[in-house]
Chain A
């Protein structure tokens, strides 16, 4: 997956996170595996309800009841986080792995100053003195492009715009120099004009610190600009993964093809946007066979009986499909 030269930072093996609800067990993440090398950006892509966010929260051990990690391993530099205790996980959260949430309007505590919320990270994860921490917060806030930082530390979140708040959230995420940032749809709630600013900022920050990133999004256009590798999730399973360029140009899985084709192409006039027919099935009652077959133009009898497994395809891609696309082929 990753380049042979870069050492592995995080390896997720056969992760299974289930939610035991009244109406049945939701297998939100059902056997997901991937790995990320140091300094790499991995895009985690799929439709809503595909289990992308649950993967992110599973890595941080933040799955709340009725959810549970039922199996698999999450190895951060070789140490398993699934079996680690809460104390160890607290040390990991914020210091080694941090998270950027989707909606900056709700991810900051409205009753605490921005400064206090930044300082909290350093208080938890360092032995620095108060004045040193304050200086670090000012520098961090400046580095995410907020002017008059010392003054702004005393302000409350409601005194910032959405884009500014997401900069604050990024500043908090970067503050303790984590090795991995999990960004869960970091630009979805922002104005289009702000989105590219925030993405540029995140790319600059992780490049600067040598950190890795998991970029969770439904927006293939965003990942294709940002990510080194892409993992595509469908119904809690990895259906395809590979290098960004190979996967975008010649995907092997019809689902990935469908996602790419739904990006509007501004160079040609269309009467209708392309879309994948149907919608994500109810994952409480998944039938046997391939989960995508009802929406797939290439589905055949085999797809209804046998679940495809990830297998090597052209250009080093991995895809779980009985009838994968060849380069240049259309479904």
Chain B
């Protein structure tokens, strides 16, 4: 177990290093950030001065060295636009995103698992066909379109949910949380539903495929021969055996939604970090983009690690080595 942790840690550092190189190279080939920091009427001398200050005259290698050394010292650079530490900017907005994503993921799981189990256990039923056709819609309809339709129906037409913003929040340990206020729930509903549909559809299809596979196994029939109820056979014996691929996809989707909820956040003006990313890309705010992508890499590495641990909780035959 200890050896495994060390191995994972080294792996994680390696991933982060590779990501830093890729991101750094990508950023230095796209756009000239100097025009973001100087006024429109700046003289050539002023521009040159700004370039020197940003260290843009150094060779790429020197620039990267400076970047990576300050990184390991905990200095992630300052936003050109906000003139604040890039990390602070992102961390300020992260709770809003994480909160919305968690609501979306819980919603996706709560709907997808029972429907997936049902569709897997009754593959030829009429209801199963309806479920599977609907899940195709969930996969193929783009989030921005679903978001706009939801806004049109629930905000514009019927006025039951607000169309944008985060609403009232309550503060817990210095974090602003929407889920503790009624108004917050109201505001999070539409964006969370929009965000959950794709994941819901994928998880549903994975669960169904797993259950269909598991249903053919002898131990399912043996459980029934013991006198277990159909429900117990499906959920206690079947579902657990079908869960490994579902957990894998869950982890990937979780990371994906936290990192790239950008579109949904933009449609619903949700003050999360996805919106910060898209704004920073427009403004060529290099330090923010770099830190953002490094953070995303870190989130994925951590989620994958947690997924591996969940594997061992599900299946005793899997050990961490």
Contacts and interface: CB of A to CB of B under 8 A. Distances in A.
Interface residues on B, range: 20 to 34
B239 to A, nearest CB: 10
A112 B241 CA distance: 10
B66 interface: no
B39 interface: no
Nearest to B123: A65
Contact of B241 (A60, A90, A111): A111
A300 interface: no
A93 B226 contact: yes
Contacts of A92: 227
Contacts of A101: 218, 221-222, 225
Contact of B222 (A91, A108, A111, A158): A108
A109 B237 contact: yes
A111 B316 contact: yes
Contacts of B124: 65
Contact of B219 (A91, A99, A107): A107
Contacts of A323: none
Contacts of A90: 227-229
B7 interface: no
Interface in B290-321: 314-317
A111 B225 contact: no
B225 A94 contact: yes
A260 to B, nearest CB: 30
A272 B316 CA distance: 48
Interface string B69-80: 000000000000
A106 B229 CA distance: 20
A99 B226 CA distance: 8
Contact of A124 (B217, B219, B228): B228
A94 B228 CA distance: 9
Nearest to A87: B229
B240 interface: yes
B310 to A, nearest CB: 13
A103 interface: yes
B224 A111 contact: no
A86 to B, nearest CB: 8
A98 B317 contact: no
Contacts of B230: 86
A98 B241 contact: no
Contact of A94 (B218, B226, B240, B314): B226
B315 A110 contact: yes
B314 to A, nearest CB: 7
A34 interface: no
A111 B314 contact: yes
Contacts of B228: 90, 120, 124
Given A99-B222, A101-B221, A121 B315 contact: no
Given A95-B227, A109-B223, A111-B314, 5 more contacts: A57-B221, A62-B221, A98-B225, A101-B222, A158-B317
12 contacts: A60-B224, A92-B227, A93-B227, A94-B226, A98-B226, A99-B222, A103-B218, A107-B219, A108-B219, A111-B241, A124-B226, A156-B317
